Each structure stands twice: as structure tokens, then as C-alpha cells.
């Protein structure tokens, strides 16, 4: 099989079909792996379904298997033009794990102890505003609206724009950071690039908050703290940029404060 030919075809189709660069990258990578695995066949349509099933079952987790199936289904549908090729292969149920969070007071105390203004501002944006790491590193100076006390998040996950609230302390921290570091265009410049890296963001969380934590837990902790403060679930949904309210509602299951208020029947 000419793997390069099929891979290039799918790469073009995938970029036309899906808006999210993350989806494009993940699907294309998965299809390349699939084509390499079955390179001994002359054409993708000749690969037996039973062999595809065996390849799917090699995945270490249910979610990885589901991701593989989504990518291959996309490949056969939009590039091979065989939408029914794997319709008989069932999608596995997703693993439903509760999000982990960091205790609010512990997190606040840890953040206040950070002396490096750049690192402090980055971690605060994750917790105070609930930003994803990609949203922090792609944040531009012009996105900070101090008059309206908001941050404009542009072209986020799913290529959607949204607005998040800027607290007085967050604004003060960003101003102090700006005066000291004088960033250009992007709020956080890397040592050798215009944009700070996601890897560095995770490293500073581990350095200042704890080795067992990573950046996305700041977003989870933000959502839970907002919920415990009495903010309406639909408002939290909008601030986080969730398409479905069910994604936001899961934070109600991990809030110790909310659970502690429940009166048991006996």
C-alpha cells in the first residue's frame, strides 16, 4: 500500500473537515499509525474488519480505543469513501472518571508564596480564570480588557471565542508582571520564542504546587471553587466554554463542601 499517498489525502481532507487543530493532529497521527500497521495490504478497503478489530483491541485504554475508532471511521468516510466499512464495529463506552481538584485554601496559599512574577501570573490565570494551558500561552496583551475587567479568550478549543472575568488581584498581578518583563504581543514570551511552552507551564505547577499536580487541575479547581461560591451552573458553563452543561455538572460530584451539606436519610 502507498501509505504516503493515503496519508497525504487524509491529511488534506481532515483539515477541510475539522476546525480544531488538535483534532486534526490527533486524527492524522492515528491514521498514519493505522496505515503503517496495515501497509502489506494493497488498498485500505481490502483490510478485513476482523484485523481492524484486533488492531483496536491493542489499545491500552478504552478511551484510546474509542479515539482510534473515531479517527479510522473518519478516514474511511471522507477519504476512502466507504462510510459503511466499520459501522458494525461498536464504539466502547467512555471511561467516566471524576476530575481531580486541588483544595482551594492550599492552592491559594501556595500561589501567594510564589516570588517569580511570571510563574505566579501563569498559575493564577489557570486558577483564577479557569484557563486551559493552551489559552494561557496564546494569550495576547491586547486580550486583557482592564476597563471592563475581562479577558477575551480567542480561538480556544473548538475555535470558539469567550469572555472570562478578571479579578482585581489578577489584574494587579498581570500589571506588575508586565512592568517587570515587558512582554511583546503575547503575554508570556518563551526564552527563545514568542510563546511560552505548555511543557513549561506544567513544570512550574509541579515546582510550586506539588509534583503530583498538573496545569489542567487548576481549571478543575477553579470550576469547583466557583460552584461552591454559589455561582450558577450555566454561568460557569459559559465561563469555561463547555458546549454541554453535563460537562460542567460533573464538578458538583467532586465538591466536598457541597457534599457535606447533604443530609443523609439515616
List all residues 6 or more positions away from 204 whose beta carbon is below 8 Å from its beta carbon: 119, 122, 123
Q: Who wins on pLDDT, 160 or 50? A: 50
The residue from 68, 85, 119, 132 that is catalytic is 132
User: With 70 as the cut, is the pLDDT of residue 199 above it?
Assistant: yes
Q: What's the pLDDT at 241?
A: 85
- What the chain holds in terms of domains, given with CATH numbers, is 3-78 (1.10.150), 104-260 (1.10.443.10)
Length of the chain (residues): 266
Q: How far apart are CA 107 and CA 205, in angstroms?
A: 11
The residue from 10, 18, 213, 251 that is catalytic is 251
> What's the distance, CA 95 to chain centroid?
17
**253 is a catalytic site residue:** no
The residue from 68, 120, 219, 220 that is catalytic is 219
**132 is a catalytic site residue:** yes
**181 is a catalytic site residue:** no
Confidence of residue 129 (pLDDT cuts 50, 70, 90): very high
User: With 90 as the cut, is the pLDDT of residue 250 above it?
Assistant: no
CA distances 186 to 37, 118, 123, 134, 140, Å, are: 41, 13, 16, 12, 4
Q: What is the tens place of the pLDDT at every residue in 33-67? A: 999 999 999 999 999 989 999 999 888 888 888 88
Beta bridge partners of residue 163, listed in sequence order:
152
**154 is a catalytic site residue:** no
Q: What's the pLDDT at 141?
A: 95
Q: Where are the alpha helices (DSSP H) in the chain?
A: 3-17, 21-37, 49-57, 62-78, 104-112, 117-128, 133-137, 168-181, 198-208, 216-228, 233-240, 245-249, 256-260
Angle between helices 62-78 and 3-17 (to 10 degrees): 90
Q: What's the pLDDT at 266?
A: 63
Closest CA to 94 of 71, 74, 66, 69: 66
User: With 90 as the cut, is the pLDDT of residue 152 above it?
Assistant: yes
Q: What's the pLDDT at 196?
A: 93
Question: Do the beta carbons of residue 161 and residue 155 sit within 8 Å?
Answer: yes
Least confident of 26-40, 116-130, 148-162, 178-192: 148-162
User: With 80 as the cut, is the pLDDT of residue 158 above it?
Assistant: no
Angle among Cα 185, 20, 217 to the nearest 5 degrees reads 75
User: With 80 as the cut, is the pLDDT of residue 110 above it?
Assistant: yes
Amino acid at each position: 500500500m502507498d501509505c504516503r499517498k493515503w496519508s497525504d489525502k487524509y491529511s488534506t481532507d481532515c483539515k477541510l473537515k475539522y476546525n480544531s487543530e488538535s483534532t486534526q493532529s490527533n486524527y492524522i497521527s492515528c491514521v498514519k499509525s493505522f496505515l503503517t500497521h496495515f501497509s502489506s495490504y494493497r488498498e485500505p478497503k481490502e483490510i478485513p474488519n476482523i484485523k481492524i478489530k484486533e488492531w483496536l483491541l491493542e489499545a491500552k485504554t478504552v478511551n484510546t480505543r474509542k479515539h482510534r475508532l473515531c479517527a479510522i471511521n473518519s478516514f474511511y468516510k471522507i477519504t476512502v469513501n466507504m462510510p459503511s466499512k466499520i459501522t458494525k464495529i461498536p464504539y466502547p463506552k467512555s471511561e467516566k472518571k471524576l476530575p481531580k481538584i486541588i483544595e482551594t485554601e492550599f492552592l491559594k496559599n501556595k500561589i501567594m508564596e510564589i516570588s517569580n512574577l511570571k510563574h505566579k501570573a501563569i498559575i493564577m490565570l489557570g486558577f483564577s480564570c479557569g484557563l486551559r494551558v493552551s489559552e494561557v500561552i496564546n494569550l495576547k496583551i491586547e486580550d486583557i480588557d482592564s476597563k471592563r475587567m475581562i479577558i477575551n479568550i480567542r480561538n480556544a478549543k473548538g475555535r470558539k471565542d469567550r469572555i472570562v472575568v478578571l479579578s482585581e488581584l489578577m489584574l494587579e498581578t498581570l500589571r506588575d508582571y508586565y512592568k517587570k518583563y515587558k512582554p511583546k504581543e503575547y503575554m508570556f514570551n518563551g526564552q527563545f520564542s514568542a510563546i511560552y511552552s505548555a511543557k513549561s507551564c506544567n513544570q512550574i505547577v509541579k515546582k510550586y504546587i506539588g509534583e503530583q499536580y498538573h496545569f489542567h487541575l487548576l481549571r478543575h479547581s477553579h470550576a469547583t471553587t466557583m460552584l461552591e461560591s454559589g455561582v450558577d451552573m450555566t454561568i460557569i458553563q459559559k465561563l469555561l466554554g463547555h458546549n454541554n452543561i453535563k460537562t460542567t455538572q460533573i464538578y458538583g460530584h467532586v465538591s466536598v463542601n457541597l457534599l457535606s451539606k447533604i443530609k443523609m436519610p439515616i
